[in-house]
């Protein structure tokens, strides 16, 4: 059976009151990573090629409004990675830096049924045990984020 492809993004939103902290979210029980903390994320495409940077930035702005009720300015790409180790699909992940422009994160949004509705959020330092556990369990967005900030190197 041929696996499908997910081309996805995650975004690391800086806390405007403490630039060393980032917004992390808790995934719901029905999700493939139930109760896991990580970065807000979404899927942008199911086929190659990888979308343009402007397409990614548009999708991140839309995701932040839909899932968290916030407006963000999207910065540069922090990094990307690919894995074929998922059971149902191959995953290409690009992680972007983002800055909160307005709003307070709120997981009680009316989220479209095809999107993940988060169950919690908090501000966190990059060196967070929840993010490290998520990355060790296969969370590609956390792996890219933690390697970018020099928290841990998973290639060793």
Q: What is the mean pLDDT of residues 54-73?
A: 97
Structure confidence at residue 150 (pLDDT): 85
Structure confidence at residue 110 (pLDDT): 85
Structure confidence at residue 122 (pLDDT): 97
Q: What is the mean pLDDT of residues 23-27?
A: 95
Which of the four pLDDT bands, split at 50, 70 and 90, describes residue 75?
Answer: very high
User: DSSP labels for 47-112?
Assistant: SSSPPPHHHHHHHHHHHHHHHHS-EEEEEEEEEEEEE--SSSEEEEEEEEEEEEEE----S-S---
pLDDT in tens, 119-142: 999 999 998 899 999 998 889 999
Structure confidence at residue 87 (pLDDT): 84
Domain ranges of the chain: 4-148
Cβ-based neighbour number of residue 58 at 10 Å: 14
Between 156 and 101, name the one with better pLDDT.
101
> CATH number of the domain at 4-148, out of 3.40.50.300, 3.10.180.10, 3.90.79.10, 3.70.10.10?
3.90.79.10
Q: What is the mean pLDDT of residues 63-89?
A: 93
């Amino acid at each position: 059976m041929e696996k499908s492809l997910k081309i996805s993004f995650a975004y690391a939103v800086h806390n405007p009151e403490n630039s060393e902290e980032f917004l992390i979210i808790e995934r719901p029980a029905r999700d493939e990573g139930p109760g896991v903390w990580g970065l807000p994320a979404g899927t942008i495409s199911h086929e190659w090629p990888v979308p343009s940077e402007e397409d990614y930035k548009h999708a991140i702005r839309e995701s932040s409004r839909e899932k968290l009720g916030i407006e963000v300015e999207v910065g540069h790409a922090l990094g990307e990675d690919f894995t074929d180790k998922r059971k149902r699909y191959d995953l290409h992940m690009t992680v972007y830096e983002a800055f909160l422009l307005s709003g307070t994160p709120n997981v009680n949004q009316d989220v479209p049924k095809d999107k993940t509705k988060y169950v919690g959020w908090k501000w966190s330092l990059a060196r967070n045990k929840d993010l490290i556990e998520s990355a060790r369990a296969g969370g590609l967005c956390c792996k890219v984020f933690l390697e970018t900030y020099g928290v841990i190197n998973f290639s060793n």
